[in-house]
Amino acid sequence: MFVGLLKAVKSGDAARAAELQQRLLALGRVYAIGRHASAVIKGLKCSLSLLGICSDVMAEPLTCFAPPERARVRAVLAELGLLPPNEPAAGDRQLEPPDRERDG
């Protein structure tokens, strides 16, 4: 989206630039999911995980989003056409770090 926005601006395509700017603003909603300042990094890591780019495992003391927040991030990505709306995303399996103890 960023590359497309730059190309639209450089070529003078104001309509396309405005469309992409609105999509980027909508994508920014993933940074507001959660209650703490860590919501920005959690939103980013969760998005990248759902897209299959990396794990959403966070360095301690942070933890990744719980399933309800993860579902909200997934909904934003699906709404923007970055994920199929009704299919599992690449990162729907949350990866656990190998050296952390698990609860239970």
> pLDDT of 25-62, one tens digit each?
999 999 999 888 899 999 999 999 999 999 999 999 99
Q: Which domain holds residue 75?
A: 2-79
Residues contacting 47, CB < 8 A, separation 6+ = 30, 73, 77
Residue 28 lies in a domain: yes
Residue 101 lies in a domain: no
**pTM higher than 0.85:** no
Residue 7 lies in a domain: yes
Residue 33 lies in a domain: yes
Quote the number of domains for the chain: 1
Residue 98 lies in a domain: no
Residue 6 lies in a domain: yes
pLDDT score of 103: 37
HSE (side-chain half, CA atoms, 13 Å) at 82:
20
Residue 21 lies in a domain: yes
Q: In percent, how much of the chain has pLDDT > 90? A: 74
Residue 99 lies in a domain: no
Find, among 8, 98, 102, 1, the residue nearest to 47 by Cα.
Answer: 1
Rounded-to-integer distance, Cα 59 and Cα 99, Å: 12
